[in-house]
Structure 1
Amino acid sequence: MRWIAGGTYTGEALDFARQAFGSSQLDRKVAIVLTDGRSDTRRDAKPLSSLCSVPNIRVVGIGIGDIFRWASYATMLEEITCLGTASPGLYLKITDDVQLLEDSFFNNVTGYICQDKKCPDYTCPANFQEATDIVFMLDGSSSVGQANFYRAREFVENMAARLLSQDRGGLLRLSVMQYSDGQQQRVEVPFTARVEDVLTGLAATLCMDGATDLPAALAFLTSTLQREGRSAVPRKVVVFTDGRSVASAWAAIPRAAAALAENTQLLAVTVGEGFDEAGVCQLVMGQANGFDYHVVDSRVHRVALYSDLARRVVMQSLARKLSKAL
Structure 2
Amino acid sequence: MSEDWITVRAGQQALQQIRQQGLQESDIELLLGASGGPKWFVLQGLDRYLFGEFFAARQRPLNTLGTSAGAWRFASLGQADAVAASDLFCQLYRRQRYSARPDANEITGEALKLLDSYVPDNIIPEILAQNRVHHHMIVARCRGRLTASDGRRQALGLLGSAAANSVNRRWLGRFFERIVFHHPQANTQFAKIWRDLPTQHVPLSVDNFKPSLLATGSIPLILHGVRDIPGAPIGTYRDGGITDYHFDLDFSAVDGLVLYPHFNQQVIPGWFDKRLPWRRTQGKRWPNVVLVTPTEAFLRRLPYGKIPDRTDFAKLDADTRFAYWQQAVDAGRWMADQFHDWLSSGRIKQKVQPW
TM exceeding 0.5: no
Structure whose CA Rg is larger: 1
| TM-score, reference length from structure 1 | 0.33
Q: Which has the higher contact order (CA 8 A, sep 6+)?
A: 2
| TM-score, reference length from structure 2 | 0.30
